A and B are shown apart, each in its own frame.
Chain A
């Protein structure tokens, strides 16, 4: 068959990846097959878990994670060590859950898939470390239903790990009991939101709920629950093995944040793909790795990390891709996978596509989101057809602010507002061109009787 099955791929060859510089990907195979247990062990796998469980207290682990400044790779950028330190634990408090958020559905994001399909043992090891640090009784991997290949890889890896004693009772003779179950979803982007994910895990509709209480205080079944992204958890083994200082050093002078990041580029570029690079690498370097723009079309604008991040301009390409720098530009780093738009493509149409996505994927719980997003889509569609009316742009501005932070239970609506507001800021002329020519001015003078 001429059509290729999709098989995810890192754009860096084995010779470019080293244990001390590419903690997330150096073990990946050239043939892109899953790294099985034996190979993982040969390449130093589970050494970090053995060391942590044998020699360190949960508080030691948390202190190291904090010092390393591993910031949440699911898009929010919250310090993982800080999150772990806020989990309720101690005498009289029931042991809860560690949940891996593997519900990757952010438009333009294809990074966790690589780790899940090709290196599931790294995630399992990260979860053992996270579970230990948080006194978790049990772990869940919440995987989106469409990731069939990842489900196969994870099921196999979980069995291998259990058979070898890395999951179950008394892991590696440490006295710590921990096991993990794979939970696959049935669609709906909103499941990736932390509290909605917990609702869905409990077998309910994926409606988010208000915080506080935070999941670390009261999460799944009312127990302390920690939710971390796949890539975040995959950072834990190397941090524990080599220390916080080493991890911080990976990003050198590029960023205050520590470590590496799985960055990617998609859109009309010559070589779309994924790379593991020091966090803080600028977008211009990524675009160069991606072979530049396809067909020599100029770059018009770009999204730094998914559909819920704000548009940036070519002049922002030299800025460090890290949480604080991109935040200061009025956008968010999000997942760190760039979506590029060329000079021939309409930002208005892309925004309409994004808002349609957010409208469809709204769970409907909060009014601004449930009603505001379909309204936004209608206005954008009429502008796209050139049938917009005077006042439509003002209404879009108003909707953008009504969808903004603080008006809904979760970040779905604020996420939808970000591309809308930034597009209105940078590409307002495209929206204005969608307004139909105003009708002839109203005739002010009455037509004298008898002349009509």
Chain B
């Protein structure tokens, strides 16, 4: 997370859509019959830059798409991978669906929580990790599985966590 993002995180103001993102959103818009369709991608573009989607970003996105802010807000609050509060530098998504559940998910989550000192939905004090649950990751033949940022791992045993997390500073 850069300084801008930390500034937004602290007071929720001072948000500006950078030109590059504005262009990327406008480009996405052209893939569809109506601009509203680019809404989810626009939120993801903002999130890629800032780590999360602050309230002040909503009217800015709405303006580029030419839709009302409520149409963007409604979407932003629906999808689980759009973060509406600051998250850590790395997001851990732990699969909690059936196959992982049957392959000792409980033990993995307990070990993760103990190591990080946080529960699901929380961020470590140093701002390094956020821990979230996720739907079946489609890695059921190697459960229990989890993702750290863009990387999927499995099977993950409690003893693996030290090595695994070390790779994410």
Contact = CB atoms under 8 A, between A and B. Distances in A.
Interface stretch (A45-53, A70-78, A199-207, A423-431): A199-207
Interface in B128-169: 133-143, 145, 147, 150-156, 160, 163-164, 167
Contact of A105 (B31, B101, B135, B150): B135
A104 B97 contact: no
Contacts of B34: 202-203, 221
Contact of B81 (A9, A187, A357): A187
Best-surrounded residue of A203, A350, A353, A356 (most CB of chain B within 10 A): A203
A203 B37 contact: yes
A146 B82 CA distance: 12
A148 interface: yes
B112 interface: no
A353 B160 contact: no
Given A6-B153, A6-B154, A266 B140 contact: yes
B14 interface: no
B98 A203 contact: no
Best-surrounded residue of B40, B44, B96 (most CB of chain A within 10 A): B40
Given A189-B135, A202-B37, A354-B98, A110 B141 contact: yes
A106 interface: yes
Say whether chain B's binding surface is mostly helix, strand, loop, or mixed: mixed
Interface residues of B, number: 53
A110 B36 contact: no
A273 B140 CA distance: 8
Contact of A3 (B36, B81, B139, B153): B153
B41 interface: yes
Interface residues of A, number: 63
Contact of B97 (A2, A107, A202, A267): A107
Nearest to B34: A221
A163 interface: no
Given A6-B153, A148-B150, A109 B102 contact: no
B93 interface: yes
Interface stretch (A178-186, A319-327, A409-417): A178-186
Contacts of B71: 203-204
Contacts of A303: 98
Contacts of A106: 136
Contacts of A349: 101
Nearest to A357: B97
Given A108-B97, A146-B147, A272-B141, A186 B167 contact: no
A339 B75 contact: no
Contact of A186 (B43, B152, B163): B43
Given A3-B156, A203-B32, 8 more contacts: A3-B163, A6-B154, A184-B44, A200-B40, A266-B140, A267-B99, A272-B141, A339-B99
Interface of B: 31-41, 43-44, 71, 74-75, 78-82, 93, 96-99, 101-103, 133-143, 145, 147, 150-156, 160, 163-164, 167
12 contacts: A3-B153, A105-B135, A109-B136, A145-B81, A147-B138, A203-B36, A203-B38, A220-B33, A339-B102, A341-B102, A349-B101, A357-B98
